[in-house]
Structures are given as structure tokens and as C-alpha cells.
Amino acid sequence: MDRIATPTRRVALYARVSTARQAEADLSIPDQIRQVEAFCAHKGWTVVERFIEPGASATDDKRPQFQRLVEAATAAARPFDVVLVHSLSRFFRDQFQSEFYIRKLRKAGVEVISITQPFDNDPTGNLIRQILGNFDEYQSRENAKHTLRAMEENARQNFWNGSMPPFGYAAVEAERRGAKVKKRLVIDQAEAAIVRRIFDMALGRDGLPLGVKAISSRLNAEGVRYRGKLFHISSVHRILINATYTGTHHFNRRSSRTGETKSSDQWIASAVPAMIAQEEFDEVQASLAARNPKRTPPRVVSGPTLLTGIARCATCGSGMTIRTGKGGRYRYYVCAGCAQKGKTHCPGRSIGMAALDGMILEHLADSLFTPDRLAVILEAYVTRSAEADEARGRRLAQARARATEIGGRMSRLLNLVANGSMAEDDPALKDMLADLKAQRHGAAEEIKLLEAGNAATGQPITAAKIAQLAETLRIALHSDDVAFRKAYLRLFVDEIVVGDTEIRLRGPKAALAKAAAQNQLQGGAAMVPSFVRGWRPRRDSNSRPQD
């Protein structure tokens, strides 16, 4: 104990409370600080830094002040020798992580000391500390169990449990029970208007149904924001799959510790104001499921059937699948919804594969993708206002700057590992890198969308380029290789809606504009997607050069 009592020790004070309510009520932190400072005064130690953590759980290391403390303690300068806490439960309530960080700090020459639980740094002291740490962890889990039980009852009474409300809602005070404020969700009319419009676009009320990428792109182009930020594919998708908008919110769907989805019998249903009809929501879910790229395997994209995956029934939106007759001599596109669920779901339709393939290819090659028609399509796309291009350029510059900043932060974090300031197996490193990677992905998606909008303005589209594009497409679509035709078709056609009297085609004009401007299709199939394995010259698993 003489070593600990040395009067020249420099101390970092760490104080923490578990909930924001405790911090606001000023119940615990001032008392922790007072007792720790009195302890230092008695020992003759000097408090050189204070790390105060209001409203943070000690069951994990996702605490800003805690991370600042660890970073300072493991830095080369090491401004203090001791981390002083009121009790070890203030430091951690997870025994494994507590031991991890105590050993990490000891390796850096910094001791963690509790003023109410003094232990020697020897096998006996370490054993007692670990036993009490396990008791702290058990108590934390018991507290969490009782807290969850209270929150479940709160949800059963249709009160909101305090997290960020879904987009389109706001949490307002409904009543008070003593010092507790009970809140309920109400509709935020400004945000709700955006939610309803997103569902309208997905349902095709403004034209053809749009996917999540097209919806986010359109909202961003119009200056619509998601609580001050740009819309991303993830935010649009999150809105479209959120059943809360139908009038029922489910609490306790995921574990707060692991993030895993719990079984549905543990969910607690709460009534909230509805803004989307259940039938509309179900229709959007069916559309999203049909569009899900995970449900379209590579063989569908690169297989010999021309329209698989993009042809849909105009009545129910289901995909058109292949059926055969006469022992395989005849092949038809039929509505999958009718075939799987019966005519009560959809009357269905059937059309010969050769007939539909021929109509689509003939229309594209000989009517739509002609120089005159392409000139009209591309003129409508490239003659945008100068103001819109300038605004898009500013947003693109901001997105690139943000991506550069995120890359710099990742490099600095990895440098900490390289110079030994942070261990490779540090849990905080994994969390911080995961967060930065998510931010980098979001910035990359935004840059991709903005660059796609700028594709047609990068190089001028001349009559000669349009004629070259039309000729290349005509040759490709009349090729004898079905897979080759299919690859070109999918570059410019997203969806083919087959009805009784008409067939509608939808595709991205940006891809046509980019191909025409940059001559990407001239002389080859540089843009054609493929699932052919190109990384092994002999198409096997052995890495060896060609003979």
C-alpha cells in the first residue's frame, strides 16, 4: 500500500451515472467528485484531469469520456498515473471488458483505483476484484431486467419509451405521474407529408412505381431533406418497411446489447396515429420483395431467358416466369402471382416467349433506339437548367470533401494502431472503424448518385455519337447470343410491365446519356455486366498462369 500512497501521484478523476435523468437530477456525479477529491487531498495526490460521463451505461465502452480517458492514458505523454473512481461499478459493469481495460491501462503504467474498494495488485487482490466485478455485472443485468419490464408496461399503455421517434412522428408529453413524464407519438405534419409522398412514389401514383434508389435521388434533387440530411437508400428503405405508419408500433423488437431481432412473442404492440393504410403498406412490401436483388441470383441475370427478372404483370406486379408446354416445345411468360396463388389473387396472363421477346427487341432496336428517337430522349435529359447543375456540383463537392474527411479520420485511427497507441484487438477500434465505414459508404452512395446526374454534362453529346450509339445497340439487340442481348438490354431497361393491351418499358435515361457522351459502347461491351468468372484463366480453383 506504500506505493499507492506516494504523494506525487497524478490522478485522472472518472465519474459516471447510468441515466440522463440521474445526471439532470444532480444526484450522483457531484457526490462522486466530492468524495474522490477528498480522498486525493488526504493522500496528497493531485487531480490533473476530470472525465465526467453523464447518462452513460457501464455495460460497454461506447462512452465518449471513457474513450478520451483511455486514449490519454495510453498516449506517449501519459499525463496521469492513476484513474480514480468512487467504485469499480463506475468504471465498468461488464467483468470481461473491465479486466480488459484494467490490464490495458496497467500495461501503459496507469492504475485503476477505487476509493471504496481498495485492492492490492497481487493475486489475492485481483481475485477479490474479479469476484466483486461479477457481482456488479449481475446487479446490472438484474437492473436491466426490471427496467425492461417497466418499459414493456409503458408500451402496453401506448406511451413512448424515449428513443428517437420514427420519421413522420414527434413525441409529446401526454401526462405526468409524479416526477415521471409520459409521452405519446403524434404525427409531425411536415415530415408525414414526405412519408406519404415516398409511399405514393413507391406505389406509382406519380407515374411508374419507383424503387428506393430512384426515390432518394428524386427527393435529394428536389431539395427535400431527412431531418436536415440528404436522403439515402437506407433511409428511404427504412421508411418503406416501417409498419409503425399503419398505426401499430412494436417495442422490444431488438436486443439493446446485441442488436439481434427477438422472437415476435416478445414484441409489445402500441397504438399510434396511422398515416398509411394497411393495404398500401402490404402492396409496397410485396413490391420491395419482388425487387429485392438478393432474390435474383446470377443465373437469372446471365441466363438465356431474355426477360426473366424484369418482366412484370401489369395487374398484380408479380414477375413473369417461364412455363412450358408439349414436353418443352413451347415456352410462355406467365404471371407468377396467378401461377402460385391462383386466379383469386390475379386473373393472370400468358404470352409466348418468342412473341414477347421479339416485340421487345424489335421495338427497342427499330423504334426506340433510333438516332431520331434517342436525340429526343437525350435532349430532354441533358437540357437541364444551369442552376440545377450548379447546385448539384456544390453538393457533389461537399460530398467529396466529407468522404475525404472520413478517409483521413480512418487513416489517423489506423496510425494509432501502427504506432502502438491502440491495440488491434481493442473493441473500441472495431466500433469506431465500423462507424467510419458506414459513414464512408453513405458518402460514396451520395457521390455515386450525384455523379450519375452529372454524367451527361461531362462530355458533349453530338449527333455522331447518338448515331454510333443507335447502331451499336441495334447490332447488339439483334445478336444471335441471347445472353449478350440480355446484358445490353439490362443496361437500359429496368422494368417491362406486360398488360392485355399495352406493354410499358422503363429504364434510366442517365445510362443512355452516359453511353452516348463517353462512347462507352463503341467497339465492345465494356459496360455489359457479367457473372463469368474472369479471375481464373482455366475457370477452375487453381491459381496458375496460362500455358
Using CA atoms of 311, 317, 323, 325 in order, give the dihedral in degrees to the nearest 10.
Answer: -100
* Count of C-beta atoms within a 10 Å radius of residue 149: 10
Tell me, yes or no, whether 5 lies in a domain. Answer: no
Number of H helices, E strands in the chain: 19, 14
Are 16 and 116 in the same domain?
yes
Are 470 and 347 in the same domain?
yes
pLDDT > 50? residue 23: no
Radius of gyration of the chain (CA): 31
Are 314 and 431 in the same domain?
no
Overall average pLDDT of the 341-351 stretch: 85
* Count of C-beta atoms within a 10 Å radius of residue 506: 15
Tell me, yes or no, whether 378 lies in a domain. Answer: no
* pLDDT tens digits along 286-324: 878 766 655 554 444 445 577 777 888 988 888 888 888
Q: Which three cell numbers stand for residue 274?
A: 396511422
Q: Which three cell numbers stand for residue 376?
A: 429526343
Distance between CA atoms of 420 and 2, rounded to whole angstroms? Answer: 31
Query: Which CATH number covers residue 39?
Result: 3.40.50.1390
From 269, 293, 317, give the residue that closes a domain. Answer: 293
pLDDT > 70? residue 381: no
Distance (Å) of CA 445 to CA 234, 389, 439? 10, 19, 10
Are 281 and 311 in the same domain?
no
Using CA atoms of 417, 423, 428, 433 in order, give the dihedral in degrees to the nearest 10.
Answer: 30
pLDDT > 50? residue 539: no
Cβ-proximal residues to 446 (8 Å cutoff; 6+ apart), any chain = 220, 230, 232, 395, 399
Overall average pLDDT of the 169-173 stretch: 90
Tell me, yes or no, whether 164 lies in a domain. Answer: no
For 60, the 3-state DSSP assignment is coil
Overall average pLDDT of the 504-526 stretch: 62
Which residue range is the domain that position 15 belongs to?
10-151
pLDDT > 50? residue 437: yes
Q: What residue spans of 44-94 are helical by DSSP H? A: 64-73, 88-91
Are 208 and 339 in the same domain?
no
Are 183 and 254 in the same domain?
yes
Are 397 and 504 in the same domain?
no
Are 69 and 122 in the same domain?
yes
* Secondary structure letter of residue 118 according to DSSP: -
Confidence band for 281, pLDDT divided at 50, 70 and 90: very high
Distance of CA 365 to the CA centre of its chain: 39
pLDDT > 90? residue 167: yes
- Considering the chain, what is the average pLDDT of its residues? 78
Overall average pLDDT of the 271-291 stretch: 86
- The total domain count for the chain is 4
CA nearest 320: which of 307, 306, 329? Answer: 307
